[in-house]
Amino acid sequence: MSPIFEIVDDARIAARALGDRLAGMRHPTLRLGVTGLSRSGKTVFITALVHALSRGARLPVFRAAAEGRIRRAFLTPQPDDAVPRFAYEDHLAALAGPDRRWPESTRRIAELRLVIEYESRGGWFAGPRTLTLDIVDYPGEWLLDLALLGKDFARWSRDTVAASRGPARRDVASEFVAALAGVDPAGPADEETARRVSELFKASLAAARREPFSFSALPPGRFLMPGDLEGSPALTFAPLDLPEGFVARSGSLAAMMERRYEAYRDHVVRPFFRDHFARLDRQVVLVDALAALNAGPAAVEDLQTALQEVLEAFRTGRNSLLSHLFSPRIDRVLFAATKADHLHHTSHDRLEAVLGLLVERARSRAAGLGAAVDLAAVASVRATREARVAHGRERLPAIVGTPLAGEVIGDQRFDGETEAAVFPGELPADPEQALAQAGETEMGLRFVRFRPPVAAPASDGKPGPLPQIRLDRTLEFLLGDRLA
């Protein structure tokens, strides 16, 4: 993108931000972004958050709710007519209906507006107040794509090819790397070569995301969820093996790939940044740290890289008039380690400490961060309960739930209807030790996937509040100051 177009883009961001700010003076509004890295439960989190607020769930750490100051919370039409609505009712029906199934993951941006009526505690503004919460749901891959705005094609190619050749991805990227050896970047542009190399690159990304690898840092994100761009030139490119100082000549394969990379940044990444990310006030990033610990050191290192790229996107500082007008304005970021209900409560703080260490390591590499950051180990919908089960002469802490059909514990395969007690193991007290032992049997972690819990109906016959772990703490960090 030329400098003049970047100036125009910045001006559009500033104008939109000013409009949002003026509207917020009349009707206080908070735009909350929610995203997740690699199957971390983003759809369930949003559904549980809205259900808890709108159904008056018991949330002792969330002070506005614990003090009885939230009068009601209800959904209203969202403000952005061109953005799909988050299908809250469908997702809740999946979770709390008779089938008790986890809802399908969302693979595009979606939005939901929740109006919260509350009583302000005191001061000049004591009395009835309203906060409008606009929840913006988007794939984690889109957030990681923002790192591409700071990389030209040559740098992105060198970084990506080096990662593909590294020990972590060598196996999944072997066909792509082998194909690069036969490609001359300075050779003539050829559509068939571009398509073939691009498909091999996309296949390596898809394989890296699946178990047992469970990698997260896999941009370009639309390669994994192309939508209506599938087959377009903007999604038909790949990194090339470029020597230092290489200059792509007009008409070469490298020039073709570079042009398509720039088209991806201009027509996919920049519009997301301009129209959505730059308008967010606060952000939740959901992380499946347990999957990385299970997968081993390569997945842990990849997760740390992803967190670093996430933090780079949040180099925003605290809100001020200038930051509202001329830069992204996110002032609070919550990193949440999901699936805490897969562990006994004695390991919840340890899971949080593991995530904290990963974020701190990533933060040390990402300079200039000003947003307030918090951490939590959560289960937005708790699928298990805890018990102590006899094991020989001992009574060991266990979790009890209904494993999904096809899950296996020992030599038993479950039918999706039978409850089971599982000894999940425990994380080491030292998070450094937990990361060092990632993927090793010494840690003794055992995970199975469970069905959602049975939702008890409320007096009106609708699903009552769902059990959760530390959802109230996340709400206090994200909304507490705005509901004081």
**pLDDT above 90 coverage of the chain, percent:** 70
Residue 380 above 90 pLDDT? yes
340-376 confidence digits (pLDDT tens): 999 999 999 999 999 999 999 988 876 656 688 999 9
Domain borders along the chain are 3-138+276-382+469-483, 152-267, 385-443
Nearest to 352 by CA among 377, 328, 370, 331: 377
Per-residue pLDDT tens digits for 73-131: 999 999 999 999 999 999 999 999 999 999 988 789 999 999 999 999 866 767 899 99
3 state SS of 227:
helix
pTM of this structure:
0.89
Q: What pLDDT shows up at residue 392?
A: 80
Peptide bond into 79 cis (omega under 30): no
pLDDT of 10 higher than 90: no
Q: What is the largest CA-CA distance in the chain?
A: 76
Contact between 44 and 85 (Cβ < 8 Å): no
Residue, of 131 and 330, whose pLDDT is higher: 131
pLDDT tens by residue, 217-253: 899 999 998 888 888 999 999 999 999 999 999 999 9
Phi-psi category of residue 355: left, alpha or beta, with phi > 0 → left and psi -120 to 50 → alpha: alpha
**Predicted confidence band at 37 (pLDDT cuts at 50, 70, 90)?**
confident
Fold of the CATH domain 3-138+276-382+469-483? Rossmann fold (3.40.50)
The residue ranges of DSSP E strands in 11-167, in sequence order, are 29-37, 70-76, 110-120, 127-137
| Residue 182 to residue 185: CA distance in whole angstroms | 10
Distances (CA, A) of 332 to 22, 294, 298, 359, 456: 21, 29, 29, 14, 34
**pLDDT average, residue stretch 378-384:** 97
